[in-house]
Amino acid sequence: MLLNLTIFLCLVFLGYVFGRHAEKKHFESILERENQYKALLAFSARFPPADMAISESKLVGGTVVISIDYFKRLAAGLRNIFGGPVTSYESLIERARREAILRMKEEAIAMGAEMIINVKLETSSITKGAGDQVGAVEVYAYGTALKH
Amino acid sequence: MRYENRQIPEGINVSTEHPLKEFSALLLSLVVLVGAVVVGLSVLAAYAAPLVPFHVEQKIVEQTGSDWLQADPLSVEQQAVKQYLKTLGSALEANMELPEAMTLTVHYSDSELVNAFATLGGHIVIHRGLLREMPHENALAMVMAHEIAHIKYRHPIVASGRGLTVGLALAAVGGFTDSSATGLLINILGSGSMSSFSRGQESEADAEALKALLAHYGHVNGAADLFKALHDRTEPSKLLEFFGTHPADRKRIAAIEQFSLNISQGSTQPFPESVLKAVH
C-alpha cells in the first residue's frame, strides 16, 4: 500500500511539474509563431474572395498529437465524479488546435500562399476506450491554400 | 471586400485559474465523500452485522468451505500443543462472559508465520511461528484472550460486513470515473480510513484481554512482553501507522502499562516442557 502510494504521488508530482512546464513553453511558442504567421490569413469560408486572381490552389494540412500528463488525468478523473468543466483538458485541446493550425500554415507558407480557405478541424482520441492508458488527443487542421 | 484575421484574446478557451486550486478543491471533496461513505457504512455494519445470530455465522463458515481450518493431521507432539492451547483458551474464556450460544474452536497451525487470528464462526488460529516468539505463558494468554475478545465482540463479522459494503460502495464511486488513477486514489483513501476502524477493534480487544488476564492470573505482568519483543525488531513509520490494521506496538505497550498501574503484581508462568519442545 505504501509503495502504491509513493509511486502514485511521484507520478502525480512528475506529471504536474513537467506537464505544467511543457504547457507553459508550448503556449509561449504558439503565441510567437501565431504572431509570425499572421500575414497568412485563414478562414472557414468555402469560396475564395471574388476579386482574387488565383494562380495555384492546394490542400494543406497540419496534424499534432498531444498527450495528457498524470496530473491532468487525475484532475479530470476527479471532475468525472463531481461534474463541471474539465479545465485540465481544455488547455490540452486548445494547444492541439492552435498547433495544428500553425503546422498547416507552415505548409502553406512554404508554397508561398497568401490565404487558406475552407479550414476544417478534426479531433480524435488516440487512446479511446483504453482506460488504463494515459490519453492522447490528435487534432488535424486542413484547408485550401491559395496563391495569387 | 476586406479580409482579416483578428487577434483572439487569450483566456477565452483556457481557464487562467491555477490548476492546483481546482485540484485541491476536488481532492478535498473526494476525501469528504469517501470519508462519509466509509464512516456511514462502517457504523451501519457495526450495528447490523452483530444482529446475525452466531449459529448462522458458523453455518456460513461451514458452507463456504473451511478447508484451511482442517489443517494437516498433527503429530502427537503437536496434538499436545493444541490441547494445551485449548485448555488455556477455556480457562480464559471462563473469565470473559461470552454469550451462551458462542463456541470457540482453537486451531494450532504448524507454520512459520508469526501470527494469530480470530475469524468468522469462532475459530482462533495460532501459528507455531508466533508461539516460538513467546517468552512465557502470560504473553500467549494475552494474545489468546485478545482473539477471544474479537469473537466476543463479533469483530470478524463486523469487519467482513464492513469490508464488503464499503468495498462495493467505493467500487461504485470509482465506477463513475474511467480513470484508473482516480480509482487508485479512492482505494488509498478508503483503505486508510478503514484501517482506523480496525485499529479501534484491536484496542477494544486488548482492553478486554487485560481484564481476562487479571481475572485468570491475578495480575497482568508479562502481557506486553510479546509486543516488546516484536517492537524491538521493527518500528513502523508514522505513515505506515495510518495504513496499519493494528495500533503501533508502542501504543499497545503503553496501554498495557497504564492498565497495570495500581493493581497487584505477580510472576509470569513458564511454558510446559512438552510445549517448548514441540514448538522449537
Per-residue pLDDT tens over the stretch A116-141: 999 999 998 887 655 556 678 899 99
Q: Which residues contact B245 (CB under 8 A, 6 or more apart)?
A: B195, B198, B199, B202
Measured between beta carbons, the chain A residues lying within 8 angstroms of B181 are: 8, 11-12, 70, 73-74, 77
B234 part of contact set with chain A, CB < 8 Å: no
User: Would you state the cell numbers that stand for residue B118, as one nine-digit string?
Assistant: 480470530
Mutate to test the interface with A, among B5, B8, B189 (most CBs of A within 10 A): B5
Whether pLDDT at A49 is above 60: yes
Q: Cβ of B182 and A77 within 8 Å?
A: yes
User: Would you state the cell numbers that stand for residue B172, as one nine-digit string?
Assistant: 461504485
Reduced to 3 states (helix: H, G, I; strand: E, B; else coil), residue B82 is helix
Task: Please check whether residue B128 is in contact with residue B108, taking contact to mean a CB–CB distance below 8 angstroms.
Answer: yes
Average pLDDT over residues B223-243: 70
Measured between beta carbons, the chain A residues lying within 8 angstroms of B180 are: 131-132
Q: Is the dihedral of CA A11, A13, A17, A23 positive or negative?
A: positive
Whether pLDDT at B217 is above 60: yes
Q: From residue A58, how far is each of A44, A116, A143 by CA, in Å? A: 15, 9, 8
Tens digit of each residue's pLDDT (9 = 90 or more) over B163-216 = 888 888 888 877 666 566 777 778 778 877 778 788 888 889 999 999 998 999
Domain ranges of chain B: 24-279
Q: Rounded mean pLDDT of chain A?
A: 89
Whether pLDDT at B257 is above 90: no
Interface of B with A in 37-66 (CB under 8 A): none
B22 part of contact set with chain A, CB < 8 Å: yes
Model-level ipTM above the cut of 0.85: no
What's the CATH superfamily of A2-147? Hypothetical protein apc22750. Chain B (3.30.110.70)
**Residue whose entry in the numeric block shows the C-alpha cell 457495526:** B46
B28 part of contact set with chain A, CB < 8 Å: no
pLDDT, residue B169, reads: 85
Tens digit of each residue's pLDDT (9 = 90 or more) over B7-28 = 888 878 887 788 889 889 998 9
Q: Which among A2, A74, A93 has the least Cβ separation from residue B240? A: A2
Among A19-33, B89-103, B110-124, B227-241, name the most confident range: A19-33
Average pLDDT over residues B224-239: 71
Q: Cβ of B179 and A87 within 8 Å?
A: no
Whether pLDDT at B232 is above 60: yes
Measured between beta carbons, the chain B residues lying within 8 angstroms of A90 are: 13-15
Q: Cβ of B5 and A91 within 8 Å?
A: no
Q: Which among B19, B173, B176 has the least Cβ separation from residue A75? A: B19
Whether pLDDT at B127 is above 80: yes
**Alpha-carbon dihedral of residues A8, A12, A15, A16, nearest 10 degrees?**
-170
Q: Which among B5, B7, B10 has the least Cβ separation from residue A42? A: B5
Minimal Cα–Cα distance from B164 to chain A, Å? Answer: 19
Q: Cβ of A41 and B179 within 8 Å?
A: no
B15 part of contact set with chain A, CB < 8 Å: yes
Measured between beta carbons, the chain B residues lying within 8 angstroms of A4 are: 184, 188
A8 part of contact set with chain B, CB < 8 Å: yes
The confidence band for B239, taking pLDDT boundaries of 50, 70 and 90, is low
d(CA A1, CA A145): 57
Q: What is the largest CA-CA distance in chain A?
A: 70
User: Would you state the cell numbers that stand for residue B140, as one nine-digit string?
Assistant: 500467549
Q: Cβ of A94 and B13 within 8 Å?
A: yes
Share of residues in chain A with pLDDT > 70 (%): 94
The confidence band for B237, taking pLDDT boundaries of 50, 70 and 90, is low
Q: Cβ of B23 and A20 within 8 Å?
A: no
pLDDT, residue B71, reads: 57
Whether pLDDT at A106 is above 90: yes
Size of interface A-B (CB pairs under 8 A): 96
Minimal Cα–Cα distance from B172 to chain A, Å? Answer: 11
Q: Is the dihedral of CA B18, A139, A14, A6 positive or negative?
A: positive
Pairing of the two strands B105-109 and A136-147: unpaired
Tens digit of each residue's pLDDT (9 = 90 or more) over B53-112 = 999 888 888 887 656 556 556 788 888 888 999 999 999 999 888 888 888 888 888 888
Q: Which among A31, A80, A94 has the least Cβ separation from residue B177? A: A80
B141 or A73, which is more confident? B141
Mutate to test the interface with A, among B182, B234, B237 (most CBs of A within 10 A): B182
pLDDT, residue B68, reads: 58
A86 part of contact set with chain B, CB < 8 Å: no
d(CA B127, CA B112): 7
User: Would you state the cell numbers that stand for residue A94, as one nine-digit string?
Assistant: 486548445
d(CA A38, CA B222): 84
Whether pLDDT at B122 is above 80: yes
Minimal Cα–Cα distance from A45 to chain B, Å? Answer: 11
Share of residues in chain B with pLDDT > 70 (%): 90
pLDDT, residue B14, reads: 82
